[in-house]
């Protein structure tokens, strides 16, 4: 399997600025994403978090590669102790109180193929839950 890429899109009835804050503010991220010790939407900023199946969690090592406020956030995604490097991008577009969020996770094929935890379906399931359930539910709290 060559270039495995996950692309998810979801429209929110929320202004871009609120979604940008949700994907870049560590206090908001810990509610719907992962609890990060620190996070800055600045190229070169490195962060890590622990996640994965409860019986076999992994240290995720990430570095911001692009940050355009209210438009785009990209970071590398690696696993400590394993080869491979992928990239996660959040693209935001919209007008007034509607925002289209497009998530792209590319380079998954660079991770070890002999580890079932790195199978594409695990990433698909995780991102579907994160975007379509966790983030959606978090942002719905701000609609009123």
pLDDT averaged over 10-residue windows placed end to end, the chain, 144 residues: 84 95 96 94 97 87 98 98 97 92 97 94 95 94 60
pLDDT at 140: 86
Tell me the whole-structure pTM to 2 decimals.
Answer: 0.93
What pLDDT is stored for residue 2 in this prediction?
A: 60
What pLDDT does residue 144 have?
A: 46
pLDDT at 97: 87
CATH class as words, domain 5-140: alpha beta
Strand pairing category for 86-95 and 72-79 = antiparallel
pLDDT at 54: 81
- What tokens were used for 104? 């792209």
What is the pLDDT at residue 1?
47
Alpha-carbon distance 28 to 30, whole Å? 5
The predicted pLDDT at position 28 comes to 96
């Amino acid at each position: 399997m060559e270039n495995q890429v996950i692309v998810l899109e979801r429209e929110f009835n929320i202004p871009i600025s609120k979604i940008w804050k949700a994907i870049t503010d560590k206090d908001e991220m810990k509610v719907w994403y992962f609890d990060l010790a620190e996070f800055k939407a600045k190229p070169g900023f490195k962060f890590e978090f622990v996640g994965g199946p409860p019986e076999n969690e992994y240290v995720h090592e990430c570095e911001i590669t692009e940050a355009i406020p209210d438009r785009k956030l990209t970071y590398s995604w690696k696993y400590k102790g394993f080869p491979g490097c992928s990239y996660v991008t959040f693209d935001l577009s919209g007008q007034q109180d509607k925002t289209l969020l497009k998530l792209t996770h590319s380079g998954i094929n660079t991770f070890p193929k002999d580890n079932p935890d790195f199978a594409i379906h695990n990433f698909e399931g995780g991102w579907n839950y994160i975007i379509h359930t966790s983030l959606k539910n978090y942002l719905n709290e701000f609609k009123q």
